[in-house]
Chain A
Amino acid sequence: MSLVLSVAITVTLVLYALAMVIGLLRIVRGPSAQDRVLALDFLYIVGMLVMLVLAIRYDSEMYLDAALVMVLFGFVSSTAFAKFLLRGEVIE
Chain B
Amino acid sequence: MMPPLGELVVAALLLGSGIVVLLAATGLWRLRDFFSRMHAPALASTLAAWIVTLASIVHFSTRSGGLSLHVWLIIIVLSITAPITTIVLARAALFRRRQAGDELPAPLGDGC
Quick check: A38 and B3 within 8 Å, CB to CB? no
Q: Which of B3, B19, B63, B73 contacts A4 (CB 8 A)?
A: B3
Q: Which of B52, B56, B63, B93 contacts A34 (CB 8 A)?
A: B93
Distance, CA A9 to CA B59, complexed state (A): 13
Number of residue pairs A-B, CB distance < 8 angstroms: 155
Distance, CA A82 to CA B90, complexed state (A): 9
Residues of A within 8 A of B95 (CB): 85-86
Quick check: A79 and B84 within 8 Å, CB to CB? yes
Interface size on B, residues (CB 8 A): 53
Q: Which of A26, A49, A68 contacts B52 (CB 8 A)?
A: A49
Q: Which of B10, B11, B22, B56 contacts A18 (CB 8 A)?
A: B22
Q: Which of B24, B77, B93 contacts A42 (CB 8 A)?
A: B24
Of residues 25 through 71 on chain A, the ones whose CB sits less than 8 Å from some CB of chain B are: 25-26, 32-35, 37-39, 41-42, 45-46, 48-49, 52-53, 55-56, 59, 61, 64, 67-68, 71
Minimal beta-carbon separation of B83 from chain A (angstroms): 10
B81, closest chain A residue (CB)? A75
Interface size on A, residues (CB 8 A): 52
Quick check: A53 and B52 within 8 Å, CB to CB? yes
Distance, CA A46 to CA B18, complexed state (A): 10
Q: Which of B17, B73, B81 contacts A12 (CB 8 A)?
A: B17
What residues of chain B have their CB less than 8 Å away from a CB belonging to chain A? 3-4, 7-8, 10-12, 14-15, 17-19, 21-22, 24-26, 28-29, 34, 37-38, 40-41, 44-45, 48-49, 52-53, 55-56, 59-60, 63, 68, 70-71, 73-74, 77-78, 81-82, 84-85, 88-89, 91-93, 95-96
What residues of chain A have their CB less than 8 Å away from a CB belonging to chain B? 1-5, 7-9, 11-12, 14-16, 18-20, 22-23, 25-26, 32-35, 37-39, 41-42, 45-46, 48-49, 52-53, 55-56, 59, 61, 64, 67-68, 71-72, 74-75, 78-79, 82-83, 85-86
